[in-house]
A and B are shown apart, each in its own frame.
Chain A
Amino acid sequence: MRRVWAVVRREFVERVRKKSFWVMALLGPLFFAAVFLMPLLMSRGGGVKRLALVDRTTTTLGAVVAARLDSTQRFFVVRRLSGGASVEDSLAREVGLKSIDGFLVLSDSLTQTGVAQYRASNVSSLDDIGLLRETLGRLAERARLERAGVDPTMVARAQIRVSLDTKKITGGRTTEESAGQSFSLAYFMMLILYISLLLYGVQVMGSVIEEKTSRVIEVLVSSLKPFQLLLGKLLGVGAVSLVQFAIWGVSGRLLLGQRAALVSRMGGVDPEVGQVFQVPHVSGATALVFIAFFLGGFFLYSAMFAAVAATCSTEQEARQSQVPVTVLIMIAFFGSFATLANPESRLAVTLSLVPFTSPIATPARWAAGNLSALDVIASLALLLAGTLVVTWIAARIYRVGILMTGKRPNARELLRWIRTA
């Protein structure tokens, strides 16, 4: 066991010493930060839009619109003016000089046919355009109703907005998770699982190939059983991945804790503005499911990557031969992604039972839907069984393959490798 431990330690220490490990460790928190600061940064980039209002209405509608826009705190009406087409040209020049961000042209046609013009340097911000359209629409509606003699208080009551409060039900209890949160959690977990399975699987493959091409393998197999070597390798790389997750988890938590402070430092805007992306709550059970299925998938796929590497003599060869394994991971990812909207469908259930797809599908369904503990255990048991079978086969291929050089084996030879005692 001490010998296996030596292999584990070597794989772990050599990997953690590499720059690429720390690059990944830093990229994680940067990615989290980007995810929840991005909406804020984008809105700050727009900031409060300074508008000129060309008012050609014959009513007080122009003044009402200006007041209402100011109250949104997203727009600020710099000035209100009237005038003909030439005004628009001069305002366009001002936009060019960036003394204003845009201008809005209102006429009586707003109430009659519902038409207004908005000209600005940036018309791609859907939030801004939406807010503008909604504000104008409501005001036009109110103007029409009032002109038709409806009581203004009646109008105000008719216009009360619907606010839909969505909460997820898990295990018969309402949680604090919204629909957006469970979707983003599922998506997040799928993405991390997909990337990690590929990343660490390829690392195992690289490690096997390195030992083959550098010929260290011969000394190693004279000291250790090939299975001990394979086991040490998987445990070592697996430990690296767990440390990586721990770094991401802790830094993610810290960043979230500091979010309000960070947001206010980055521009002093109300923190609520930054909450376009809803940060999901990761419970202990979810973390456990994630880790369990990651480890299962990691051993399953890494054993396959190791077997592939053992049949190859060079890194280029290995890169070509890994395609079937990579495709399996991709099927798992895209299959789970496709069934995310409908986690109870037959396809989704199948995906979370097949060992090759369940490492991604089951955590995703767990996060998006409401799998029972029994579902998860069934899926995990199948994954474990699949992993044992695949590892057994992979270890046999590995044992013969690591000492072979030259031509890659065909399917018949591979079968013979697996059969030889």
Chain B
Amino acid sequence: MTAPILVLDRVTKRFAGHTAVDGLSLSVRAGVIFGLLGPNGAGKTTSIRVIMDIFQPDEGSVQLFGERAGRDHSARIGYLPEERGLYPRMRVLDVLVFLAEVKGVPRRAARLRALEWLDRLGLGDWRLRRVNELSKGMQQKVQFISTMLHDPDLVILDEPFSGLDPVNAQVMKDTVLELRRRGKTILFSTHIMEQAEKLCDELCIIARGKKLVDGALSDIKRTHGGHHLVIGFDGSAGGAQQVFADKGLVKRVDDYGQYAELELAAGADAQQILQRLVASGARLSRFELMEPSLNKIFIDLVGPEAARAEARPEGQAVHA
């Protein structure tokens, strides 16, 4: 097991009126893709800002690369903030060189790398245009390039997929995987579980500033999974409703009419359900015993929390 590259130890951050991050501890090993998952307002961005030393934690501490975190580490971290921003009136190449320079990259090297990345992401012809002449998607790519120019060991991406079309989301995903192949560590936050499920090696789900679960994706699925059954109907569902209602067999059901996801009751046998369904006159196109989706785990874990979070009366004076 490699040494953790990032450790949060009981980090708490309060803003006037509410606690954005509440005793959060987590540990990210070098060379993995780590997902920080949570509903809106869970404290993902605040946690990341604490890691980036933009906010000081009220309690707890952050360790980066085995040392106490500070601005000095920023040269080894690539950071894509949730709220993207570039100087609108500067030329693309100039912005990139500048943002690399403030990370300590010499000017000449910054220029070469910027040109290389621009070509790689198909923006070579745009290097002398002003940022505000670019489309939103192009600006996103430019910003992404800016997080890579100093060849960071740890890349922190806050909602990297938001606002990207499918083609560019694919490019982003490929780039993230490529980074891991080169031995980099990637921490990214998202509330889109499909992306997280495909990419993450490890993850942490938080809600209302608190950690609900963390660990390797496969472990989480095992422990939080239970037995899940996916059923597809071919036209007629027959008496499936009655079968699903049997608490001895089915603990929980997501019934979509032509499709249903079941969580089996403890000790129930899937074969028994199959027999009962066929006997009730249902025609089946699919009957599959499977792991739950991350989405399902997320909703099970976060659902009640998120509902409560929304009921919180006061707004957030500062960005959460």
Contacts and interface: CB of A to CB of B under 8 A. Distances in A.
Interface of B: 52-55, 71, 74-75, 77, 79, 81, 83-90, 94, 98-99, 101-104, 146, 317-319
Contacts of A331: none
A269 B261 CA distance: 101
A3 B101 contact: yes
A222 interface: yes
Interface in A194-247: 210-211, 214-225
Interface string A1-28: 0110011011001100000000000000
B53 A215 contact: no
A405 interface: yes
Given A14-B90, A216-B86, A407-B317, A221 B54 contact: yes
Pairs A-B, 3 closest by C-beta atoms:
A215-B85, A6-B101, A216-B85
Given A218-B83, A404-B318, 6 more contacts: A14-B90, A211-B85, A222-B81, A223-B99, A405-B318, A406-B317
A69 B55 CA distance: 83
A3 B150 CA distance: 13
B298 to A, nearest CB: 27
A224 B71 contact: yes
A403 interface: yes
B79 to A, nearest CB: 5
**Which secondary structure dominates where chain B touches chain A?**
loop
Contact of B81 (A215, A224, A406): A215
Nearest to B317: A406
Interface in A391-411: 403-407
B141 to A, nearest CB: 15
B16 to A, nearest CB: 9
Contacts, number: 72
B57 to A, nearest CB: 13
Contact of B101 (A2, A216, A404, A406): A2
Interface of A: 2-3, 6-7, 9-10, 13-14, 210-211, 214-225, 403-407
Nearest to A222: B52
A224 B83 contact: no
7 contacts: A3-B102, A10-B98, A14-B90, A219-B99, A224-B102, A403-B55, A405-B318
Contact of A216 (B71, B87, B94, B317): B87
A219 B83 CA distance: 10
Given A219-B146, A222-B52, A222-B79, A2 B318 contact: no
B87 A214 contact: yes
B54 A403 contact: yes
Nearest to B107: A6
A82 B87 CA distance: 79
Nearest to A210: B87
Contacts of B89: 14
B74 A222 contact: yes
B85 A214 contact: yes
Nearest to B319: A405
A217 B52 CA distance: 13
Contacts of A224: 71, 102
A218 B81 contact: yes
A218 B45 CA distance: 12
A403 B15 CA distance: 13
A221 B103 CA distance: 11
B197 to A, nearest CB: 28
A403 to B, nearest CB: 7
A405 B316 CA distance: 10
A152 B102 CA distance: 87
B54 A222 contact: yes
B153 to A, nearest CB: 15
Given A403-B54, A406-B317, A219 B81 contact: yes
A219 B87 contact: no
Contacts of A2: 101, 104
A12 to B, nearest CB: 12
A355 to B, nearest CB: 31
A240 to B, nearest CB: 16
Contacts of B54: 218, 221-222, 403
A223 B85 contact: no
A220 B87 CA distance: 11
B77 to A, nearest CB: 8
A164 to B, nearest CB: 57
Contact of A222 (B53, B84, B88, B319): B53
A20 to B, nearest CB: 12
A214 B102 contact: no
Contacts of B317: 406-407
Contacts of B77: 222
A405 B85 CA distance: 15
Contact of B79 (A10, A219, A407): A219
A223 to B, nearest CB: 4
A410 B99 CA distance: 33
Given A2-B104, A222-B54, A215 B84 contact: yes
Nearest to A4: B102
A219 B152 CA distance: 14
Nearest to A225: B71
A54 B182 CA distance: 103
A235 B83 CA distance: 28
B149 to A, nearest CB: 11
